[in-house]
Structure formats: structure tokens, C-alpha cells
Amino acid sequence: MIKTRTLSVAVAALLSAAPLSLFSESKNIAASKGINLLEQTSQTFTQIAKKAMPATVFIKVQQQISEQAPQLRQQIPNELFSDEFFRRFFGAPQTQQQPQPQQLANGSGFLVSADGYIVTNYHVIKEAGQITVVLNDGREFTAAISGTDPRTDLAVIKINETELPYLTFGNSDQLEIGEWVVAIGTPFALEASLTVGVVSAKGRQDLGITSLEDFIQTDAAINPGNSGGPLLDLSGNVVGVNTAIISRSGGYMGIGFSIPSRMVQHVIDQIINSGTVQRAYLGIILQPIDKDLADALGLEQAQGILVSEVMKDSPASKGGLLQGDVIVQYNQNSAKNVSKLRNEIAMMSPGDELSLKVLRNNRPIQLKIGLGGQTEVEVVSAETVQKMGLEVESITPDLAAKLNIPADLQGVVITSVKPGSPAQAAGLRPTFLITGVAMNWNEPKRVTNSDEFNQALKEAGNRKHVILIVRHQNYQRYYTMKIN
């Protein structure tokens, strides 16, 4: 009886202990698998660092800054002080200009070829007097600018060295929201640093950061000095160029933006091959359609993009597109967003064909338009002039004689002002002479011909207003127009 009871107790003990043992073993296996997974993830980041950090560079920029005393003289080009009008208007002294001290700025970049081509942001090297590139191994080189593209905030610089480590591009279109990404740069002038995060969103537009926007949003920490550094996928390929952050403090707050690699490659390939960027040109001004506009146009729903204006002699005009047409589809893609359509056209090349489906008087029409090509200056200035409602010409001897313009005056003549335009509202009239363009009251830029006028408008970029310095008869005035 005692033996039987002892055996029963032993069996019961074994049975009660078995589940605990199995649970403990399962827990240990799970913990071991978790540790292994973390170790694998850590090793992935380590491999990315080993691959990308040697190809990531620190960029030091020396900027020339004029030392101006009076408040109104800040940021005025020195050459304008030779003009009597500008001297009196801005209170410039009759003395020699002050010496120009150097201001230091810095950012990041990364090598894209073994022979020294480096991608960075345009705003990093925008006003550079001298650019110094510091490699990850400590070597320093003086760099030259190969080309820039302010509309995407991209630039390519080059150092004279060979057999350098470099990065390759991945496909940003294949990125998924939630996917791991790695940002590398030199924040606060520190040596190359790595941060990790995920893709928070794609296709961020209308942020007012650049003219052409299609940003990847990430929560990988990006701080001042990270600008121009690479955003990488888990294979160590570049999927973006870190460009901007949203911050109330000036530091990282979990929202950073990177230019997608698809856009980057399109720009830098052209810069490296030709030194300039040429984009396809359609020649229209677009407007989103809201419910009220849809009702006014008799549309069944608020869809598509309205063609509010077609530029004279543009590819759009030659291809049959009319003011008032509603674009509902382009190249088999639904037309829902003005910025998206503008970006897609900008990513095409001159000579490419654009397929459009438009509604004209609520009837669908198919159009095929051969895209033209213009320089960046021509595209931006044409859009700006169109928004203002102006047509201008350079002064010729015949035109100067016809309009009684003194021989010593230079600029561009207004030949036409569109009724109801901002130019007409501002008081501009044909025969007025534009002698300068100002970004604001403190930044006048003299123009002597159409090329300089176009360049000045290009530099105005996405500013909400443009200021024209205009002479008529014996008077010179500033005219302000809202264009964006």
C-alpha cells in the first residue's frame, strides 16, 4: 500500500512538472530566436555602415558675406552701388565697399563614382566661395561645382581623386511605407553618423521646400548638417537624398524629408553628362478642381485638373490643348494632383510624347502631344511671366528710337499686358521699361536684356511676390505683383 502511494505521488509530481518544463523550454527558444533576430538586424545595419560611411563625405563651405552697415543695405549686390538711383534709394555711402568676411557652412554628400563625383543639396553649396570635401578617412580636397538644379535642391560637385568608394542607387518607387531605412550624414559637423527609422510616407508635395517636390518622409533622425547625405535601404542602396526637416526647435522632431532616388538620378545623370538639366516642357498653367469649380464647369464630380492657360506657341498649344480643358488622364494615369502631373512631365525628356485624355465641354478627347525642351531659366521665367500677364522684349536700336528711350537706358520693354492680370492690376502698361527685378525690397537685381530678366525671374523661385523696377518717362518705380 505504501509502495503504491509512493508511486502515485511520484507520477503526480512528474505530471505536474512536465508542463512547467515544456513552457520554460518554449520560452527559452522564443527568447533565443528573438535575440538571433535582433542580432541579424544589428548586423544588417553594421554592414550598411561599413559600406556607406566610407562613401559619405563632410562638406565645408566658405561663403562670401558683404559687411553692410545700414539696415536697408543687407543683401544688396555691391555692383548696384555704382548706380546713382540705387545709392540714393538705399542710402549707400560714398566710400569704398567694406571687406568681405567669410562665413562657414557645412553639410553632407556622398560619392557616386570612383573618380570623385559627389551628390549633395544645392542649398549646401549655394553661395560657396570655396568648397572643401573631407572624406571619411580624414583626407581633404577642394571641390568644384559640376552643376546645380535649384528646382529639386540638388547639386553635383567633384574632387580630383580616383579609386574612391562610392554608392549605387536603388529604386525609390519600390519603397513601402513602414520599410526600414538608414540615414547617414555629418550632423553638427560630427563625423559620419548613422540613424535608423522607417518610411513614414511617400509622395509628399506642396511643402514649399522646392519647386519640384515628391519627398520620402522618414522618422530616421535628420539634424542640421545631414543635408545632402544618403538615405539607404537595407541593401545599402541609395533611395533618397536627405534634404529637410520639420522642426519647432531646429533639431530632430521625427519628420524628415528626402528626395527620391528616381528624381535624383534623372537630375545628376544630366549634370554629370552635360553640366545642365533639361526638362520636358508642355507650356500650360494648371489649376486644381474643387467642388464649386466642378459645379460651375458642369462636371459630375470634382476630378481632374483644369488647364487655366495655354502659353503662346508652346507644345501644348501646337498639340491642340485649349484653355478650359480638364485633364483627367495622362499616360494612362489618373490626373488627380497638379504637383504630381507637373513632376511627371519634368521627369520626361524633350521629344517624348505625352498622351492626354481631356474633357472639353464634358466630352472626352484624346490628345498626343510632343513635348518641347527649354532650359531651366526659360521654363521658370516663362511660367512666371505668364502668371504676371506680361510679354516683354529686349531693347533694340529700332525699338528704342520708336519709344523715345534714351540710348543709355537698358532693360526689357513691356510689349503686352493681359487684361485682368496681376500686371494690369499693378498698373503696368505696354512701353514701360523694366530695368530691374527684386526678390524683396533689399535685393534689387539689374536687368539689361531678356536673358538677364529670365535669370532674375528664375532666381525668384517660389516666392509669393515679385518686384519689378520700372522706368516710364522720367520716373522710376517699384511694382509688386503676387504670382504664387
Active site residue 227: yes
Q: Which residues pair with 357 in a beta bridge?
A: 329, 366
DSSP 8-state class, residue 178: T
Q: β-pairing, 154-158 with 180-185?
A: unpaired
Angle value at C-alpha 247, between 242 and 253, nearest 5 degrees? 80
CB 66 within 8 A of CB 60: no
- Considering 108, 172, 211, 227, which one is annotated as catalytic? 227
Q: What φ, ψ does residue 178 adopt, rounded to 5°?
A: 100, -10
What span, in angstroms and rounded, lies between the C-alpha atoms of 218 and 374?
34
Structure-block grid coordinates of residue 380: 521658370
Q: List the beta strands (DSSP E) in 230-344.
A: 230-232, 238-245, 256-260, 278-281, 284-288, 305-310, 326-330, 333-334
CA dihedral 89, 92, 93, 96 (to 10 degrees): -140
- Considering 149, 153, 214, 219, which one is annotated as catalytic? 153
What span, in angstroms and rounded, lies between the C-alpha atoms of 445 and 18?
87
Q: What φ, ψ does residue 481 adopt, rounded to 5°?
A: -130, 140
Reference 134, options 193, 58, 62; nearest CA is: 58
Active site residue 123: yes
Whose cell is 520693354? That residue is 413
Active site residue 258: no
CB 280 within 8 A of CB 247: no
Name the strand (E) or helix (H) holding 145.
strand 140-149
Helices and strands: H and E segment counts in the chain:
11, 26
Q: Please write down the HEC assignment for all residues of 274-295.
A: HCCCEEEECCEEEEECCHHHHH
CA dihedral 46, 243, 112, 49 (to 10 degrees): -10
- Considering 123, 266, 339, 381, which one is annotated as catalytic? 123
* Catalytic annotation, residues: 123, 153, 227
